[in-house]
Amino acid sequence: MRGSFTPPALFLDFIKKYDKFILAGHEEPDADCIGGTIAMASLLRRLGKTALLKSAGPFRKSETIPYKNLFSAEISEEEADSAAAIIIDCSSPSRTGSLCEALKKLPLAIIDHHATASAENGSVCAYIEPSSPSATILIFSLFKALPLKITEEEARLLFLGICTDTGFFRHITSGNGDVFRIAAELIDAGASPKETFAEIYGGKTLNSRLLLGTELCNTESYFDGKLLISCEELAETERYGIENRDSDTLYQLLTQIRGVEAIVVLRQSTWNQCAIGFRSRDSIDVSKIAAVFGGGGHKNAAGAYIESKIADLKQSILDEFKKILPE
């Protein structure tokens, strides 16, 4: 992020045009998606609009579970009548899971910050800034553009999203001082770094640590230690629970290993569907590899969902990395 962002006039016109909005984000939402969606709903309501929160879930992260009851997983015909839609933290209705078909029938706008995002996918307008470290920073700029003074609760939600996608600022590189200036403004408005850190990294269960240990034990090394692949089978998910996953800590631990350039975490979400998480330290653009499997993301963090079994998927992933990490 270099410099502040200005929302497109077309996007602001979209907000002004409609009185009812359906807001949704990607499947298995993280706190950037959830915090941004709730803050966007608050913005719209303060403008006198109706805002309905939707998510296909599942809410697997401990920091998102408290917000689960604010969302519903279905869009009724009555709700869709005369409504427009805004999808947040993803650039295509296809990433909203079961909400996809209903959303595609509505006038659609996009707020996203992923490197693989585009303004296509049938949207009326899009606010896409790949240089932004989080979707919540783009929503922050909407508050400033309208302008609306950010409330304490909105500040807390926006700060939560920024901290989530920056790894509590671990991933911020030089030239991105505006992230800290925005963070300072949100803190002055009522966000608490101490409470946000506890919300993201605290409150874990013993099962979350047992699952983490299992994922570490399942990790295998490839290409002379440059690539690590960890797997979580469906039986392990069922044993420890889907609400006990601590992906951020797993990625932190694996990226600290000497010589590692990229990490892949494969999870068997259902008997025939896999979730793939990609991370890289510096040079490898994992968003390009994620795109091969129908996903997307950033250069150093990306993901995908695909119908497959782990055993079948692993070799395909190794084949892609072999193109950039020859043995």
Residue position matching structure tokens 């793939």: 276
The β-bridge relationship of strands 220-222 and 227-232 is antiparallel
Task: Identify which of 1, 3, 27 has the alpha carbon closest to the alpha carbon of residue 269.
Answer: 27
Give the integer Cα–Cα distance in Å for 325 and 227. 8
**At 27, phi and psi to the nearest 5?**
-60, 155
pLDDT of residue 242: 67
Range of weakest confidence among 140-154, 186-200, 211-225, 290-304? 290-304
Q: Is the pLDDT of residue 1 over 80?
A: no
d(CA 31, CA 136): 10
Residue 120 has pLDDT above 90, yes or no: no
Report percent pLDDT > 90 for the chain. Answer: 70
- Tell me how far apart the alpha carbons of residues 23 and 166 are, in angstroms, rounded to a whole number: 23
Q: Over 60: is that where the pLDDT of 118 sits?
A: no
The stretch 22-50 carries a mean pLDDT of: 96
* Amino acid occupying residue 88: I
Query: Does 206-322 carry CATH code 3.10.450.50?
Result: no
pLDDT at 243 over 80: no
Question: CA 89, CA 136: separation in Å to the nearest integer?
Answer: 9
Residue ranges covered by each domain of the chain: 9-199, 206-322
Give pLDDT, residue 51: 98
Residues 195-225 pLDDT 10s: 999 998 887 889 889 999 999 999 999 999 9
Residue 2 in this model has a pLDDT that exceeds 50: no
Position 240 scores a pLDDT of 86
- Residue 24: pLDDT over 60: yes
CA torsion 262→90→241→61, rounded to 10°? 90
Least confident of 77-81, 95-99, 100-104, 269-273: 269-273
* 3-state DSSP helix/strand/coil % of the chain, to nearest 5: 45, 20, 35
Average pLDDT, the chain: 91
- CATH code linked to domain 9-199: 3.90.1640.10
For residue 327, is pLDDT > 70?
Answer: no
Tell me the angle at which helices 177-188 and 152-165 cross, rounded to the nearest 10 degrees: 150
User: What's the half-sphere exposure (Cβ side, CA atoms, 13 Å) at 212?
Assistant: 18
Do the strands 227-232 and 262-270 form a parallel or antiparallel pair, or are they unpaired?
A: parallel
pLDDT grade for 247, boundaries at 50, 70 and 90: confident
Could you identify the residue written with the tokens 């359906």? 22
Average pLDDT over residues 240-261: 85
Residue 298 — pLDDT band, cuts 50, 70, 90?
confident
Encode pLDDT of 156-181 as tens digits: 999 999 999 998 998 888 888 999 99
For the chain, give the percent of residues with pLDDT over 70. Answer: 95
Q: In the structure, what pLDDT confidence band is assigned to residue 244 with cuts at 50, 70 and 90?
A: low
